[in-house]
Chain A
Amino acid sequence: MTREDFSVLALSYLEDIAAFSRRLTGNAADADDLVQATFERAFEAWRRLRDPAACRAWLFRIARNLFLDGRRTSAVRSQLSLATDSKMSTQAFIVPAEAVERLAARELEAALDRLPREQREALLLCDLWGFQYAEISEIVGSPIGTVRSRIARARGRLSVLLGRTAGEAEDPSRR
């Protein structure tokens, strides 16, 4: 792969990285900086990308690492990832499919925002950006088993959260 080939390939993922950065940072200004920093780093290190098919996941990993480098505070991170873990049971709650269909995007976004960061991240990488577990494992630097568990728990928790919103019209005895 030449540098020009890499340029064309990498830039085709600019919008994905912009959306990912927006979700990581939560605001437009920081997202713009992160997008630029991600591509600067990618253009510095493009020779290390051996497999062009892995370019998209590689860019996501760079963006994520830069974001975490910029705000690496272990206390905050553990707070973010663990704060709600023990507060809510996620077992055996099923939000009806038809109720999910009726949800507005903002209701879904609001519920996603309430997930622990690592669960939300794994779920979005899987469902929103369509990465496979192995790719997500590479992006977030965690074993596949952990990724699988985070996604399953995210879905369980999301069902509970959405059940409170969407399930109002359903049979109350279900909850």
Chain B
Amino acid sequence: MNCEQTNELLSPYVDEELAPSERSEINAHLVGCASCLEHVASVRSLKHAIARLESRDEPPGAVRARVEALRFKSTGFWETSYRRRLLAVAVGVGLLAAALFVIRRHQNPALPFGEELVSDYLQSLPEVRPAEVASSDPREVVRFFSGKTPFEPVVPAVPAAQLVGGRLCNVAGRRVELLFYTHGESRQSVALFVCDHAVGDAGCRKYRGHPVCSRRFGKLTILAIGEVPGDTLEKILREATL
């Protein structure tokens, strides 16, 4: 192999993209050719110089939040597999039957609010319906709710959970904030309802098998519900600040 033939292959040689036989031929030529050896050093130094440039760029917080919120955006029903669709329909029918059963058997006047809360939560799961505002910036989320709720909107700071967005909800005829967070490394969904309803003492109780925890913040009540156990919800509320 002469210098001209070698030069043709030096670039893929440096990238280790040559077949073993070609690589061996180049190695053999380089042993006795200072000029080609210098060329290899030049290509390598260029490669290393480019590799030192910025290959990663932190996007603005709002962009990151919008992209991360896509995790919770529903994929179309017909895009999912047949088995998943069947499972979804079965779960839906089961939930409907359970709801009808509970409504008929438990007309307890103290419970409709909790029932409605659970129902709203299940229907508003980020996987089911996309958030109306997707942001990890509390100020942006507050701006979204501003003027839409009968109270001054707030977004609680929750040390153990990451805000991802929210949507407006109606609970017991009153407009409330529904805020979505993710909790822990497995990013389990946690939803906080912020409302001006009075729901009695703080604490946790179960509605339709789901723990719902509440805590009063002055005139506001924050109710927590999610994929996490009741004691985790209680901790989240205990640590929440306005």
List chain A positions with a Cβ less than 8 A from chain B.
3-4, 7, 11, 14-16, 18-19, 22, 28, 31-32, 35-36, 39-40, 43-44, 47, 91-92, 94-98, 100-101, 103, 105, 108-109, 112, 123-124, 126-130, 132-133, 148, 151-152, 155, 158-159, 162
Interface size of B by Cβ–Cβ distance < 8 Å? Answer: 39
Contact present for B55 and A155 (CB under 8 Å): no
Nearest CB in chain B: distance from A61 CB, A: 17
Q: Which chain B residues numbered 1 to 55 have a C-beta less than 8 Å away from chain A?
A: 7-8, 10-12, 15, 17, 35, 38-39, 41-47, 49-55
Which residues does chain A contribute within 8 Å of B60, judged by CB atoms?
Answer: 28, 32
| CB-CB under 8 A for A108 and B53, given A35-B59, A43-B70 | yes
Q: A109–B44 Cα gap in the complex (Å)? A: 17
Contact present for A152 and B57 (CB under 8 Å): no
Q: A159–B70 Cα gap in the complex (Å)? A: 43
| A-side interface mostly | helix
Contact present for B57 and A18 (CB under 8 Å): yes
| CB-CB under 8 A for A151 and B15, given A32-B59, A124-B50 | yes
Count the A-B residue pairs with Cβ separation under 8 angstroms: how many? Answer: 112
Which residues does chain A contribute within 8 Å of B17, judged by CB atoms?
Answer: 132-133, 148
Contact present for A152 and B42 (CB under 8 Å): no
Which residues does chain B contribute within 8 Å of A124, judged by CB atoms?
Answer: 50
